[in-house]
Chains A and B, each alone.
Chain A
Amino acid sequence: MSAHHSATTASPVEAAIAATKTSGAGALIGYLPVGFPDLQTSIDAAIALAENGVDVIELGLPYSDPVMDGPVIQEATEVARAAGFRLRDGFTAVRAITERTDVPIVLMTYWNPVMQYGVERFADDLVAAGGAGLITPDLIPDEAAEWLAASERTGLDRVFLAAPTSSDERLRQAVEVCRGFVYAVSTMGITGARQDVDSAARTLVARLRDAGATSACVGLGISTAEQVAEVLEYADGAIVGSALVKALADGGVSGVARVAAALAEGTRRTK
């Protein structure tokens, strides 16, 4: 099963994204790191996302060397690590959030922590906690044999990145192996709010469609409801990270709830 076989997929993430297209313009996917500013607040904040229009929760596991992340997420994950974040807190958070909401949760994690935990063990513990899958920013399908096998066995979703610079062949491979959605990197760069979401995203999603993608979500640089609406003109979901993390840092759980609700305005069908 893969992101181009939506009719037969059992992926809760793909189903959640598909459902938003009958009720609205597409999905809002919200990112927050586990353990920021502390474990309980990060759990409450994720639930606030779910209660304010976020369709899929992306929970980041803080890591010492986050090369895909910009300053806002770097700072938040450094706070979480300084406060004693442990990998097992990720499963605690997933369990606590799934107890209070049906919105599916994917973990966003760099690869070394999973490798050290043990890929099979990590997959089993994620299933047991009620998680739906993994987004792996520094793992390409070419290096992912162990994870492909573990996700096949457990049915977990696996989300790999597609970039404007990826060849057609690599896009086909991404569509083939992704389950849940393909993460289309909107622009060349790292996480962080931007003025304009690149037109490169529109072209990339069109190329992913040509490669057979039925579930493609755009991330990096999206921070306003207008940008969400613009992305949902051509993509199945819009992924927001730094803007939510900043809202949580500045305004706590109620602050992040407000920003999530405002972003969700962008998912309403306008035409």
Chain B
Amino acid sequence: MSLRSETGPYFGDFGGRFVPEPLIAALDELTEAWELAKADPEFLAELDELNRNYIGRPSLITEVPRFAEHAGGARIILKREDLNHTGSHKINNVLGQAILTKRIGKTRIIAETGAGQHGVATATAAALFGMECVIYMGEVDTERQALNVARMRLLGAEVVSVKTGSRTLKDANNDALRDWVTNVETTNYIFGTVAGPHPFPSLVRDLQKIIGEEARQQVLDLTGKLPDAVAACVGGGSNAIGIFHAFLDDSAVGLYGFEAAGDGADTPRHAATITKGRPGVLHGARSMLLQDEDGQTIESHSISAGLDYPGVGPEHSWLASIGRASYRPITDAQAMDAFRLLSRTEGIIPAIESSHALAGALELGKELGPDAVILVNLSGRGDKDMETAGRYFHLIDENAVQS
């Protein structure tokens, strides 16, 4: 059977709807609306038009030979989601859900955001569609991604700085869910990744799978064959499932997700959910989870706000459990080295999130050898990360030189 035909609510033992009853009607409504929309030529035409003329799809692929010299000589090809309008893959999902919001007659949209890319994409869609928009963002993240907070406000969104718990993405998620429970009559929750209760894991996946569908054909056209490996970073897992999905039934293509290992997967400070977690429930789905013995969620840590999440989407937990995809940890230091290396060798400044996939590709290239072709999802650009990088590499002092 095709691995591409899973629609939820369950992916193997993972998924489901572990949410308060007041949200069930809204989830049912979204599930039904999505079933109708994805088979409706009018919806598909509207989305296609926005993909082409607003996002700039199809996104390019770019081969990066100077970078690949550091990867055992394997060929490395980047899928350029960083070139999308608003700077990451997040916009693919948001525009689809914004059209869906319009179809179910709601006028207010809310979202959680970590790095701010999903928040910026949602604020952008709200401006484009004339909707009211509230973005929940952990206080820690509003500080490390201050530029994105300014972008969201400029676009007309209200940004709520969340001060509970670890003050990062998971707590922003909690507050967005609380808002949704309270305002569900007028409000649609535009979920930013392939986690959460059904239908979000399959809905967001369906809107992101265009990445892999384009890239599969683009790599075939360029090289005459499928890649040997596909690499992506994994926070909640939307860019990874987006590029993996088209390849799920190509059993010769290795699929590799790279999780944020922070200070190291064997230290207490990391976000390597599949590597180090065990099954549990968070934010509406049963999936792998960083948690203590009592089932209390453990705070995650990563230099990258977009990967700083103790959970992961259920489809990834399933793909890991059946061995179809492998998940590996990448530390802050490895990611920042790859961040600088791509900037220096290719003139492309990647998002720190995406730099985890790049660091993973450097490892994979050395393992697979010079004949291998590795497709990497460059999920976003690094403009938003310049303050973090500036501090990390001491670029902003008065006497700073090249790092």
Contact = CB atoms under 8 A, between A and B. Distances in A.
Interface of A: 63-68, 70, 74, 78, 81, 86-87, 111-117, 137-140, 142-143, 160-167, 170, 174, 185, 188-190
A140 B178 contact: no
A166 B24 contact: yes
5 contacts: A65-B297, A81-B296, A140-B17, A163-B25, A190-B178
Interface in B277-323: 280-284, 289, 291, 293-297
Contact of B25 (A64, A86, A165): A165
A2 B259 CA distance: 46
A161 B22 contact: yes
A137 B293 CA distance: 21
Contact of A165 (B164, B165, B184, B293): B184
Given A68-B178, A137-B20, A163-B22, 4 more contacts: A117-B295, A165-B26, A167-B25, A189-B182
Most chain A CB within 10 A, of B165, B181, B282, B295, is at: B295
Q: Is the interface of A mostly helix, strand, loop or mixed?
A: loop
A138 B20 contact: yes
Interface of B: 16-22, 24-26, 164-165, 170, 174, 177-178, 181-185, 280-284, 289, 291, 293-297
Contact of A116 (B26, B170, B291): B291
A179 to B, nearest CB: 16
Contacts of B291: 112, 116
Given A165-B25, A190-B178, A67 B20 contact: yes
Q: Is the interface of B mostly helix, strand, loop or mixed?
A: mixed
A162 B24 CA distance: 10
Given A64-B165, A78-B164, A117-B294, A140 B24 contact: yes
Contacts of B174: 65-67
Nearest to A165: B25
A89 to B, nearest CB: 10
A190 B23 CA distance: 12
A116 B24 contact: no
A64 B182 contact: no
A104 B63 CA distance: 68
